[in-house]
Each structure stands twice: as C-alpha cells, then as structure tokens.
Amino acid sequence: MSIQVNIMYQLKNCRYLHALLRLPVDVTPVWIMRQAGRYLPEYKNIRKKAGGFMSLYKNSDLASEVSLQPLRRYPLDAAIIFSDILTIPDAMGLGLSYQDNSGPYFNYPITCQADVDNLIIPDPEEDIGYVINTVRTTNRALAGEVPLIGFSGSPWTLATYMVEGRSSRVFTKIKKMIYTVPQTLHKMLHKLTQAIILYLNAQIYAGVNAVIIFDTLGGILSDSDYPIFSLFYLNQILDGLLRKINGYRIPITLFTKGGGRWLEKMVDTGCDALGLDYTTNLGEARKRVGSKVALQGNMDPSILYGSPDRIKQEVNNILCDYGQGSGHIFNLGDGIYQDIAPENVGVLIESVHKQSISYHAKCNLHF
C-alpha cells in the first residue's frame, strides 16, 4: 500500500503526505509553522534586499528562495510557500500595507453593505499570480525532494481583518456586524469562500501537494457562532477543492487556533488532518477523533527559548501523548517567534526524527 502511494507521489520523501493520510511512516514527519521566514538570518538579508515584507512575497523568485531556505539548513519533511494570508483581501481592492511594529493595515476596510457589494472575486492567475508563480518556481526547485504545502486564510479570519482594518484584540467591529447586519457578513463570507476555492485550486494545479486552511481567528467566536460564521464556510471550501489530481490525493488540513472545543465538528468537514494549537492536549485530541483524521502539532513555540535538553524533553512528551502509529505531523502550536535561535530549531527537528523511531517500529520504510 505504501509503495503504491510512493509511486503515486513521485517524491523522495513522502513522510508528511503519508502521515496526513494515516499511512505507515518510518519516523514522525516534522515541519514548522512560519519555517520560511523571520527567525533566519538569511531571510532577514533577503527581506532587506527586497525592501520589505510585501515586496518580498510579491516577488516570486525571492519568495521561492525564502521558501527553500529552511530546507537548506534542516532535514524538514515538507516545504511551505512563502506568502501571506491577506493576499485575497488585497486583491479584492482593500489597499493592504504593513506598518512597522503594528502589522497589516487596510486603507479601505469594509464598513457597510455597499463595500461588500463592490468586492470583486479575484482571478488567481491574474490578480494573485505572484503566489501561483511562487508555487511553480518552488516546485521546480524542490525537484521532488519533499512535498510543497500551499495555504489560505479562512473566510472568517480574512473577513475579520477586512472589517477591523488591522490586527485587533477585542474585535468589536466584526462582532457588531454579527449581531446587527449578519446578512452583510454572510454575503462577504460567501464571496471569500468562492475566492478561496479558486485560489487554492490554482495552487494545486500549479504544483502544491497539500493545502492548509488557517482559521487563525476562529477561536474568538462563541460556541454558537463558530458553526454559523466559520465552520459552515469551511465545509463549502472542502466541497469545492480538488481532492485528487494526476492520480494522487491532495490532503487538506484545517487549523483553527483556539479550536480545541470543536474538533469533532471540524472532522465532519471531511478534512484529512486537524492542526492543534498548544492549548489542546494531543493525546486527548487523538482519543476524541480516533482514526478519522491525522493531527498536526502542537509544541508551544516558547519551548524553543529553552535549553537543548528542555526541547528534547518536550519532544518526548508530545510524542508520548500521541502514542504509537502514524497520523501525527510534529509541528509547533503557533508560528515560530522571530527571536528564536536557529540552532534550537535544529535540535527540535533532530529530536523528533530520532525519538519517534520507536513509535513506528513495525514500519520498514526509509526516506
């Protein structure tokens, strides 16, 4: 069975894809959220050369180079394209910019029904073609070494940024919309859902082997609002995505930060894997979802400030929490912090590969 999938994927290292599909692996695969970026000195050099974050990710050649940088340092089991979750709202005409020390900012945030009516649904090749070209360029450069991951923000998360206009701690504008003009919000979420389906399918056609939908702000919703304003649209995206191309499956991962309350509901979308943040115990999550999906996560990024021994101990704890067998992709429970020492990332990756061997003792695969 595993040989058939190896031939299908035509990659030298298929651990990540095998684990997503709960197939046997020799060791637990590992990659890191935001592995392409801000903690690496080589990234800082190329960002300075590009003239800023947006200039960097909108230059396909430079963005591809950044995507590849961590794989030159570490034996990671997957690459992820270097981009941003706000590419779709930017292409919709909201005027995205990044301000020093304050994050993203929209010049034309959504304030009323007319603003929503005026939103265009971007053509991925025409309006966000720099990302699609980054996929193509990175895929060629990888030459089948490891899988390439594509991604998008979720409709709810994108809508929150579009309405708030920038990062927020209280989210009063988007929550006011929920309770005063929900029909306007639903129209925006519907447009975003259509845009995300087109965008992710374009990434798949361009060469990504798996995709992740980051519902980064899903956890700010209440138990009653999450199914209505986030999960409903995630279901629609899963129904609209290509799940197989050129004979191989495209695994889909959902990551709702703060979503540990809703794991069973997320499983029902038909996704292949769930991303977990570090507030959810991995072993308890596995008991709840059984063998229905794989699990990605979920070390607290702050552990990487610790000593090598502390990092190794935490790797052991998380592997032990998950237990025997495949279906676990080791990752952080959030994006890596920019002041983490690159050497500590190397300790993490080596520890995952070495310590996880015993959890896959019956598997004779080697990548």
169 is catalytic: no
183's CB contacts (< 8 A; 6+ apart) are: none
84 is catalytic: yes
Instruction: Please tell me whether the peptide bond between 298 and the residue prior to it is cis, using omega within 30 degrees of 0.
Output: yes
- Secondary element (H or E) of residue 15: helix 15-20
Question: Coil, strand, or helix at residue 122?
Answer: coil
161 is catalytic: yes
Tokens of 150: 């594509």
The catalytic position among 15, 47, 249, 286 is 47
**d(C-alpha 285, C-alpha 294), whole Å:** 10
Question: 149: closest CA among 36, 56, 7?
Answer: 36
34 is catalytic: yes
196, HSE (Cβ side, Cα atoms, 13 Å): 30
**d(C-alpha 213, C-alpha 50), whole Å:** 27
Is 361 among the annotated ligand-binding positions?
no
The catalytic position among 26, 74, 77, 84 is 84
Total Cβ atoms within 10 A of residue 130:
15
Residues in the chain: 367
Is 161 among the annotated ligand-binding positions?
yes
243 is catalytic: no
Is 205 among the annotated ligand-binding positions?
no
**326 and 366 in contact (C-beta within 8 Å)?**
no
Is 38 among the annotated ligand-binding positions?
yes
Residue with the two structure tokens 């430079």 = 62
Question: 31: closest CA among 16, 42, 49?
Answer: 16
Tokens of 275: 């991303």
**d(C-alpha 121, C-alpha 191), whole Å:** 7
What are the respective helix, strand and coil percentages of the chain, to the nearest 5? 50, 15, 35
Is 77 among the annotated ligand-binding positions?
no
- The one-letter code for the residue type at 165 is G
The catalytic position among 57, 161, 278, 322 is 161
249, HSE (Cβ side, Cα atoms, 13 Å): 17
Is 134 among the annotated ligand-binding positions?
no
**d(C-alpha 227, C-alpha 218), whole Å:** 10
Is 35 among the annotated ligand-binding positions?
yes
Question: 334: closest CA among 257, 274, 262?
Answer: 257
**d(C-alpha 109, C-alpha 112), whole Å:** 9
Is 99 among the annotated ligand-binding positions?
no
Binding site for substrate: what residues are annotated? Answer: 34-38, 84, 161, 216
Q: Residues with catalytic annotation?
A: 34, 38, 47, 84, 161
Binding site: what residues are annotated? Answer: 34-38, 84, 161, 216
